[in-house]
Every structure is written in structure tokens, then in C-alpha cells.
Amino acid sequence: MNKTNIKQCIKNQSKIIHIGLGAFHRAHQALYTSELIDQEKCNWSINSINLFGSVELITQLRGQNHVYAVLERGPNHKQVKISKSITHSLHPALDGKEPILEALADENTAIVSLTITEKGYCIEPSSGTLDSNNPLIQQDLKSPYSPNSAIGYIVEALRLRKQHQRPPFTVMSCDNIQSNGDVARQAILGYAKLIEPELYQWIKEHVTFPNTMVDRIVPAVTADTLSYIESQLGYRDPCAIACEPFRQWVIEDNFVNGRPDWDQVGAEFVEDVVPYEQMKLRMLNGSHSFLSYLGYLSGYKFISQVIDDKQFLRAVLDFMLAEQAPTLNLPKEVNVEHYATLLVDRFSNNNLQHATSQIATDGSQKLPPRFCESLIYNRRNGIQTYWLELGIAAWMSYVIGKDDNGDAIEVNDPLSAVFDSIKSSPTSNRERALALINLDSIFSDSIVNDTELVDRIVDKFVRIQESGAKVTVYNMVNDIKLKPLSSNELS
């Protein structure tokens, strides 16, 4: 990379350790921090760690002093920003485990932030507690001083800090999980309790786990995106990423050892994040999952293509406003209909090329907060659940079936082996659907024991198998007699 065009990054002590050096972190938390540095309002920098991700990314970032480009790409506006908040990086395959533990246990480390996806917390999705049978947790329990999971690394680092009488750090989850700080706390305390009761008590008393709500669409980077960024910068950046212009970060102000003033560059510190994260998880992320499964099955490669189909647009608007919005307890100043319209505008951004296949990954971890909790609430309160049922049926078709063209689907999910077993069993479509809905790691008793609901989900699964996802959506839009789209929605 041509360094002469880039302001040198600040080489101060990395007070933030981030686990999960993916595209989202680089387009969100790292960029907020970089903008603070640019304004000389921050003396914090980030040491980013990949425990399982790409070694090549770490190597490339080191080759360019961890400086990289971020393309903010809207329908009518593009801007390339340079991010320089990451000053160090580590990977166990390159550096070994000891330097990672040393960095986490260093007394200067004040925040350990996370983007490790739902499966990285090793939580049982339906109960929200640590899955002690998770292979990574089982492995770490046998050798807690030489961990492999993010949970194991954090607990071992906290043990070292306690042992050396160093202050605790804040654990800040930035994953799209409802009450993500509480989830991180449950996982870490659950693991610590299994290995050392005194450490469990120390963590419980001294470590804070703020909840956060993060929002920015960051699709996988493409060759065309990299070429465009190169044309703007005059040099090639293999670590560059692209994202939408919109971003949001709402943070519970609960830090035990200091924090940057991210609110100076647009973040918001609040006492209670839950209303914001529920709105985002159920309306944005839930709609994304809804569109990704039905869209992928229907042959649509990108979310913008799905939303461009007016029947899918009508379906997702009803999904958001009639089935997800009633489950929310929002501040009075939040206009949920305006939020839904804003989401449609963001989904329609065809410059992002957000792949349905990318959003469809790890569905077994995503379904409980995005679909199941709303489904249970609506059933208890007599609210329609047509689209929630269809979303689950589409997920079922995705994980064990074929798309509308009959092509096989490559499923990326922690339960892929389970899905393959169900798929290969010589049973009927109805029996396959029942086998999926009886997976207690995904579906709680409230759903499984609701026989009328189960029958309706299974019926929709069978309809997708027999008629295809697109035809099923079209027929449901007609059957429910949704109102015509307004001129604003059609534009």
C-alpha cells in the first residue's frame, strides 16, 4: 500500500482488545474509534484478534500497518474513508496462544469487545445458558490454561488479572444478539463456575457486560468493490470493505475501567438498550432472515432483488408491522412505521449486493431471537403469525431441501450434520418438518407443544416443497388480501 497518502496511525497502547476481526467490526466499532482519533478526541486504539478466522487477513493488515479503506456505498452517494484505529493484531496460528492471553491480561486493557457471531458464545439458543456439551467448551474444560474458545480466553485472562491483582476489564459484545451483554455474561460466568468458584464470584462482582445495539449492513466484499476502491485511492487495498452509509450504535453506559467517547462521533450511550435491540433484531434482522430464506429459495441472489419483487415487499412490510412491531416496547419518540420504511430503503440499495446466502448462514442460532420470541408473544396475545410461520418453514426448506429450481443448497450452520441426517432419512416432508421443529436447541416447549401452530408451520413447509417458495409467497399475499402498496412504497 502507498503509505505516503495515509496519515500514520497513532501507536499508543491498545486499550481495546477486539475478538473477531471480521468485516463488520472494521466497518463499525473500529471506524467509530478511528473517527475519534481523527478528531484528536481519543487516545485509545485496538488490538484485533482472530481466533478462527482468516490468517491471510491478519498478514495483509500487518503489511499495511493495519490501515484499510471503508467504502460507504449508498444508492446515490459513495465515500471512501481510511480507518486507522487498529494498531495491532494477533492470531493463534501465527503467534501462539500466550501472546493473546498476555494482551488480554495486560493491565492497560480496559475493554474486550466481541463480534464472534451467535455460535461463538457457546450458548444453548433456547435456554440462553452455557452449552457445557459444546465441543469447544469441552476441550477448554480439559485444558483451561490453554483455551481455544473466545469464552475460554476471556475467563483465563480474567483469572490471570485476578491472580496478579490487576483491575478487571469490561466485556462488550457487539453481536446481533438480543441482550448481547447478558448473553456474554451468562456464557463467561457459566464457564468460570465450572472451573473455579472463586473466579466465578470475582468476575460476577467486578466485570461489567454492557448491552449494545449495533446496526450497519456490511456485505461480503466483491472484486468489483475492491477495483472501485483502488480507482479512488490509486493503490490496491486487499483489506478494504464496503458498507451502507447508515450506521447506529446504542451502548449501555456500564464500563468498569473507562471507555472512549464514542458519542462524539454518533454513538449513543443509554441506560437501557433492550427496546432498541429488540426493534433491530426483530424488524431488521428478522426481515433479513425472512427475505434471505424465501429469496434464496426463489432464485434471488441479493436482498435488493428480493425487495424489488413487489409481492415480497408487501409480505415483508406485513411481517414487520403486523407481526414484529406489536411485540416491541418502544420509547414514545420512535415511529415504527417510519423505521420500517427506512429498512425497505436500506434493503433496496442495489449497490451493496448483500447476498441472501450470506444472511442465511447459522440460522439455528438466529431463529430464536428473530422469529421464535415474536411467535410465542403473538400466539399468547392473539396476534397473527402467518409470516413468522412461513419464515420458519422457509428456513426448514433451506436447511434440508432444494431451491425452487431443484438445485441443492450448501448449508453453513453449526447443526449442518443434524440437518443432513434429517434430509437423508427416508421419510415424508411432514415427518422431516416435525423432526426439525422438535430440535430443542432451537424451538422451546411453548412452540413444540402448540399443536395448532406446529401444524400450520408444517403445512407451509409442505406447500414450499410442493409449489416452491415464490408461488407460496404470492399465494399467501393474495389469500391474506394485503392492502395495495402506497405510492411511497412503490417508489
Q: What is the pLDDT of residue 37?
A: 94
In this predicted structure, what is the pLDDT of residue 485?
A: 62
Lowest mean pLDDT among 127-136, 180-189, 375-384, 468-477: 127-136
pLDDT digits (tens, 9 = 90+) for 303-314: 999 999 999 999
- At residue 125, the pLDDT reads 73
Grid coordinates of 370: 428473530
Q: Does domain 274-490 have CATH number 2.60.200.20?
A: no
Q: Spell out the domain ranges in the chain.
A: 3-270, 274-490
For residues 371 and 386, what is the distance between their CA atoms, to the nearest angstrom?
12
Query: Which residues are CB-contacts of 150 (< 8 A; sequence separation ≥ 6)?
Result: 19, 20, 51, 114, 116, 120, 121
pLDDT reading at 487 higher than 90 = no
Measured CA to CA, the distance from residue 329 to residue 279 in angstroms comes to: 9
pLDDT digit string, tens, across residues 236-255: 999 999 999 999 999 999 99
Amino acid (one-letter) located at 128: G
Q: Going by DSSP bridges, is the β-strand pair 241-243/248-252 parallel, antiparallel, or unpaired?
A: unpaired
Does position 376 have pLDDT exceeding 50, yes or no? yes
**Res 5 pLDDT > 60:** no
Residue 216 reports pLDDT greater than 70: yes
List the beta bridge partners of residue 111: 16, 170
Instruction: Output the pLDDT for position 305.
Output: 97
Comparing C-alpha atoms, which of 279, 277, 488, 282 is closest to residue 387?
282
DSSP β-ladder status, 45-49 and 212-215: unpaired
Could you tell me if 322 and 290 are in contact, meaning their C-beta atoms sit under 8 angstroms apart? no
Task: State which amino acid sits at residue 394.
Answer: A
Q: Would you say residue 463 has pLDDT above 60?
A: yes
Query: How far is CA 75 from its chain centroid?
Result: 24
In percent, the amount of the chain with pLDDT more than 90 equals: 86
Mean pLDDT, the chain, as a whole number? Answer: 93
Mean pLDDT, residues 95-119 taken together: 96
Answer whether residue 182 shows pLDDT above 70: yes
Distance in angstroms (rounded) separating the CA atoms of residues 77 and 351: 10
Q: Closest Cα partner for 343 from 284, 292, 280?
A: 284
Report pLDDT for 352. 84
CA–CA distance, 336 with 282 (Å, rounded to integer): 12
Q: What is the mean pLDDT of residues 465-479?
A: 96
Reported as a pLDDT band with limits 50, 70 and 90, residue 353 is: confident
pLDDT above 50 for 8 = no
Here the cell at position 363 is: 440460522
pLDDT at 10 over 60: no
* Whether the Cβ atoms of residue 376 and residue 398 lie closer than 8 Å to each other: no
Give the list of residues 6+ apart from residue 246 with CB closer than 8 angstroms, or none. Answer: 215, 216, 217, 342, 346
pLDDT at 360 (0 to 100):
96
Question: Contact at 8 Å (CB) between 262 and 102?
Answer: no
- pTM > 0.85: yes or no: no
The three-class DSSP label of residue 62 is helix
* Beta strands 241-243; 111-114: pairing state: unpaired
Identify the band that residue 481 occupies on the pLDDT scale cut at 50, 70 and 90: confident
Mean pLDDT across 264-276: 94
What's the confidence (pLDDT) of residue 245? 95
Q: If we measure between CA atoms, which residue out of 47, 50, 68 comes closest to residue 58?
A: 50
Which architecture characterizes domain 3-270 according to CATH? 3-Layer(aba) Sandwich (3.40)
Query: How far is it, in rounded angstroms, from Cα 322 to Cα 335?
Result: 14
- pLDDT band of residue 489 (cuts 50, 70, 90) is low
Give the residue-averaged pLDDT of 78-82. 96
Average pLDDT in the 402-407 region?
92
Which triple of cell numbers denotes residue 461?
Answer: 413447509
What is the model's pLDDT at position 48? Answer: 97
